[in-house]
Amino acid sequence: MTTKLYENWISKIHECGFNNEQACGLAMILAWNLTSQNKDSNSYDPDIYWKFIDKSDFDSISKNSFIIEDFINFVPLLKLAGEILRTPMPVNRLDGENQVAELLNLDWQNDLKDADENDEIRNLLFWRHKFDLLWCQKIGESLRHEIRNPVHAFVLVDYLTQGFGKFDPEGYSRILHSISSRPSPFVGVFSSRYFVIERNGLQGYEPFQIALTGFIANLDPKLGEQLWNLQRILFYKQPGGIPFNLDKQFLPLPEFIEFSLPLIADFIDGNRNSFLNTGKLIASEYLYRSSEFQPFDQFFDLLEERYGFSDNLNTKEIATSLIINVVSFYTTCCIKIRNITNKISILPTLRMLDDVGLLWARELPLNQNLRDEAVLCFDVMLSWRFGASWALFIETDHGFFQRAYVGDASSYSDVESLFSEICIAYSPVKCVVAFWTHRQHGVEAVKEEVVFLNLSKDEIPFVEVFEGLSDVKLGRSIGEYIGLSDDSKITSSYFQKLQNIFNDQFSFEKINKKQDELIQLFPPSINWNFVNRLNLLIENDESVTYIDTESAIHDDFKTSLYLLIDYKNVQKTSEGLEFLSTKLLCEYDCKNKTRRFVSIKMYELSMGSGCCVHDSGLLSAPASEVPSKGNVGYMAWEIACNLNPSMKSI
């Protein structure tokens, strides 16, 4: 009878798609790891073995379960591992009686004297993610049916160790070292004492942790099995594990993507139903930011941010090529699954501003009232989240729109508190709260609905209701307009706190405090666009220029920050488009006394609000000398450089 810890570990293995034969192999590797020497003390803790199985049970199994054939049957399996892993095997080894040991001799060593052994080792070692599981499978299949279970396999290690210690201790030790020193992430994780005893996760095993943690934890275990099978289909023929696409593993990244992407897309599209409920648990950084931000741009950004290599990485190392391609495989899976129902492309001007999907921006081509804006945007927001869905749309007296969205497992009370704090921070003139709900209609079944609660100063709140649609292929969306609701329970039950504070007047200190809290909770500050936090730089007859010191970013002797120019009269672009304010992102070189314009955006309304009528994108213009003292350009450079910590060392 095993202990609870061992039972949980075995259960975890089976949940992750490993069959009983593979679990036997993992149990044996775990047992070897538990009795291996500790790197720090060169010894092992004998008590750790009994965390997994009761000692009396262990002794009983060891005494009554094994016969000499179990040892004999295992010898070729150990030799197979040594041969595949190219384990060095000296010919002058001795057995337990100081006689020449020959039990685990590996004939292949004599055949490779004239070959490039390093290339051969690379070719074999780096498809270990295949070898480990196949070898574990063979272990299980070699066991007699009476002992073909992980408990007996765990105990069998002690029996085998005694036998090999008598006939070929050095050969046995060398092969075990090859098996345990460079295990694949899959096998390494599930046979690690550190994982089983000290932690409940797969941190540190990238890129495989993306699949295992992101797709398996607390989910239908079939998902992990499906992804593992997809990797096997991609890399080698099934069933049987016979190498099929082995050469594809080592292709340069662009060629590997070209080969693998159609297979991944077909597989995930074909199993769309299986992935719908799991897509929400993949990190939000895998979501498309906007229709302008192409998936492959985001893909390469993710590879560089998460794993440190760019799209132009060129390597002839087989090992590196394989690792890169496996990373790209799981990254592509993440993006594809996370965006199964994403409808951002149908509203190109809507994009996310942060990694959690709370803040959104939209540059409207035309003026649009807040209610219509809320309906359009919330429909897209619904498409990429599952479970609870709440959105806040506010309009300030500057004409600025802010959009906030909270989804998944968020509680109503938390959402109400957050939305209330946002309203205090902005002091809006209008506000719309959108949410997905279920309501009972008489004796009929419960209906899914999308509710829009409309609030404005000095007006009675009113509620509009739309049909809520859920589709396996399309995800969630807003359906037909039902109309104004006369159900007073909605206005009395939802967002009362928000309604009560909406018409209140708050001091500058309280507003500023709420803004501080929101910026600290969800940086950066520029995305919030709190115009009252801008510092006045200069005012003349034509405009007022502000500097945003809170947006300052320092890189050695360079400082980048935003300027906002608010014009007193309407301006026009070269195309004739009218605007009233401009945002400039400037980079100041404090040491060389130069400045460079990084981007320029022109807005239809004052204080950087309303429609963006012109966006320069990232400019490639060279730096120029800072204007003379007294000029607004010099004043901005001086303030930026006074903020730069590197300048204090001069």
| Structure-token pair, residue 359 | 């803040």
Give the pLDDT score at 464.
94
Q: What is the pLDDT of residues 167-203, one digit of tens each?
A: 999 999 888 888 877 666 557 666 766 556 554 444 4
Which parts of 16-149 fold into alpha helices (H)? 20-35, 55-64, 68-84, 108-111, 117-125, 128-142
pTM of the model: 0.61
Contacts of 543 (CB under 8 A, 6+ apart): 565, 566, 567, 568
Q: Across residues 278-302, what is the average pLDDT?
A: 74
Determine whether 151 is exposed, middle or buried from the number of CB atoms within 10 Å of its CB (0-12, 13-18, 19+): buried
> pLDDT category, 480, cuts 50, 70, 90?
very high
Give the pLDDT score at 221.
46
Q: Across residues 362-372, what is the average pLDDT?
A: 79
- Point out which residues pair with 359 in neighbouring strands: 404
Domains defined along the chain, listed by start: 4-200 (no CATH), 213-340 (no CATH), 346-514 (no CATH), 534-649 (2.40.128.710)
Supply the DSSP string of 411-453, one letter for each residue: -HHHHHHHHHHHHHHH--SEEEEEEEEEEE-TTSPEEEEEEEE
| Structure-token pair, residue 308 | 């440190």
Distance between CA atoms of residues 58 and 75, nearest Å: 23
Give the pLDDT score at 472.
72
Distance between CA atoms of residues 95 and 259, nearest Å: 51
Contacts of 492 (CB under 8 A, 6+ apart): none
- Point out which residues pair with 355 in neighbouring strands: none
Would the pLDDT of 602 be above 80? yes
Q: Phi and psi at residue 329, in whole multiples of 5°?
A: -60, -50
Q: Among positive and negative, which fits the CA dihedral 203, 209, 212, 214?
A: positive
Return the percentage of the chain with pLDDT > 70, whole number.
Answer: 75
- Distances 125 to 179, 279, 284, 313, 537 between C-alpha atoms, Å: 11, 33, 34, 22, 63
- Distances 29 to 173, 208, 606 between C-alpha atoms, Å: 13, 19, 67
Would the pLDDT of 211 be above 60? no
Contacts of 273 (CB under 8 A, 6+ apart): 472
Would the pLDDT of 116 be above 70? no
Minimum mean pLDDT range among 107-111, 139-143, 362-366, 615-619: 107-111
Give the pLDDT score at 616.
82
Amino acid 478 reads I
Give the pLDDT score at 182.
67
Give the pLDDT score at 43.
52
